[in-house]
C-alpha cells in the first residue's frame, strides 16, 4: 500500500527503520479502517513526538553556535579583550581552539536536548567543551592552564580504556572534524558573496544596502549546523548500535 510505504519512509527519517516499520504496521491495523485521514493524522502525531527533541536541539544549537563564534572571537581578538595571545603562532592555535570549542558547544547542546544528560557520549562532549572554554577565557592563569591540560590528558586516556569509550571519542572527533570543515566552507562562501556584493571595506552602511548578505549568512550557518548534527547523529547511531534514545523515550 502506497500510504503505508510513504508513512514508513517519513517515520524512518526520525527513528530507526525497524521501529518505523513496526509503528506503521500498528497504524495500518488500528487507524486504516477509519480512513486515510485518521491514518495520516496519527502518523503526523507520532512523527512530531519522535522529532521534537532534535528540532528543539537544532534551534538551541544554532543560537549557541552563532553566540560562541562571536564570543570566542572577541575573547581572542577583541579590542577590549583582557588578554590576547602573545604572538601570531599562538593566535592561530587559539583560532583553532575557538572554532573547535564553538562546534563542541553547539553539538553538546544538541546532544543534551536530543539524548539527555545521562547519555555517556553527551557527557564526554560536555567535558571537552568545559575544558576548551576554560582554556580560551582563562589561559593566562597558570593554574587554570595546568588544570585544563591535565583534565584533557585524563579525558583522552579515559577515552581509550574500553571499546565503548573509543567509540564515543570517535563520534566526537568525526563530528568536530565535519563541523570545522563546514565552518571553513561557510566562511569562504560568506567571504565570496561579500566580495561579489561590494569590493571594499564592509561596515554597517554596506550591511543596510545589501540585506541579502544577512540572509545568506543565516542560511550558510544553518547548512553548517546541519552538516554537524547530521555527522553526529549518523556516527552515534552507527557506532552506538542505533540506540535512538530520543525515539525510545518518546514512545514509552
From first to last of its 252 residues, the chain has per-residue pLDDT tens of 677 788 888 888 777 778 888 888 888 878 777 777 888 888 888 888 888 888 899 999 999 988 888 888 777 776 666 666 666 667 678 888 888 899 999 999 999 998 888 888 999 999 999 999 998 888 888 898 899 999 999 999 988 888 888 888 999 999 999 998 998 898 888 888 888 887 777 667 777 778 888 888 899 999 999 999 999 888 888 887 644 444 444 443
Q: What is the pLDDT of residue 87?
A: 61
Q: What is the pLDDT of residue 251?
A: 41
CA 136 – CA 17 distance, rounded (Å): 42
Q: What is the pLDDT of residue 89?
A: 66
Q: What is the pLDDT of residue 247?
A: 42
Is residue 204 assigned to a domain?
A: yes
> What's the structural domain count of the chain?
1
Is residue 67 assigned to a domain?
A: yes
Is residue 21 assigned to a domain?
A: no
Q: What is the pLDDT of residue 50?
A: 83
CA 29 – CA 33 distance, rounded (Å): 7
Is residue 91 assigned to a domain?
A: yes
Q: What is the pLDDT of residue 86?
A: 65
Q: What is the pLDDT of residue 72?
A: 81
Q: Which domain holds residue 98?
A: 53-251
Helices 2-12 and 17-30 meet at what angle, rounded to 10? 140
Is residue 115 assigned to a domain?
A: yes
pTM of the entire predicted model? 0.80
Is residue 154 assigned to a domain?
A: yes
Is residue 117 assigned to a domain?
A: yes
Amino acid at each position: 500500500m502506497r500510504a503505508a510505504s510513504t508513512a514508513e519512509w517519513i517515520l524512518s527519517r526520525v527513528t530507526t527503520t525497524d521501529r518505523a516499520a513496526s509503528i506503521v504496521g500498528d497504524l495500518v491495523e488500528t487507524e486504516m479502517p477509519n480512513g486515510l485521514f485518521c491514518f495520516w493524522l496519527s502518523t503526523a502525531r507520532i512523527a512530531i513526538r519522535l522529532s521534537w527533541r532534535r528540532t528543539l536541539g537544532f534551534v538551541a544549537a544554532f543560537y549557541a553556535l552563532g553566540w560562541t563564534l562571536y564570543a570566542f572571537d572577541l575573547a581572542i581578538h577583541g579590542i577590549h579583550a583582557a588578554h590576547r595571545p602573545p604572538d601570531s603562532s599562538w593566535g592561530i592555535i587559539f583560532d583553532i581552539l575557538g572554532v573547535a570549542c564553538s562546534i563542541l558547544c553547539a553539538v553538546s547542546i544538541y546532544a543534551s536536548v536530543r539524548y539527555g544528560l545521562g547519555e555517556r557520549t553527551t557527557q564526554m562532549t560536555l567535558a571537552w567543551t568545559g575544558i576548551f572554554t576554560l582554556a580560551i577565557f582563562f589561559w593566562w592563569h597558570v593554574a587554570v592552564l595546568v588544570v585544563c591540560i591535565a583534565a584533557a590528558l585524563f579525558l583522552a586516556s579515559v577515552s581509550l580504556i574500553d571499546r565503548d569509550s573509543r567509540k564515543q571519542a570517535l563520534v566526537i572527533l568525526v563530528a568536530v572534524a565535519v563541523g570545522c570543515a563546514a565552518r571553513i566552507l561557510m566562511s569562504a562562501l560568506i567571504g565570496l558573496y561579500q566580495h561579489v556584493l561590494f569590493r571594499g571595506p564592509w561596515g554597517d552602511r554596506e550591511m543596510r544596502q545589501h540585506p541579502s548578505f544577512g540572509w545568506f549568512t543565516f542560511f550558510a550557518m544553518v547548512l553548517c549546523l546541519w552538516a554537524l548534527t547530521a555527522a553526529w547523529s549518523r556516527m552515534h547511531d552507527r557506532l552506538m548500535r542505533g540506540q535512538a534514545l530520543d525515539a525510545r523515550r518518546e514512545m514509552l
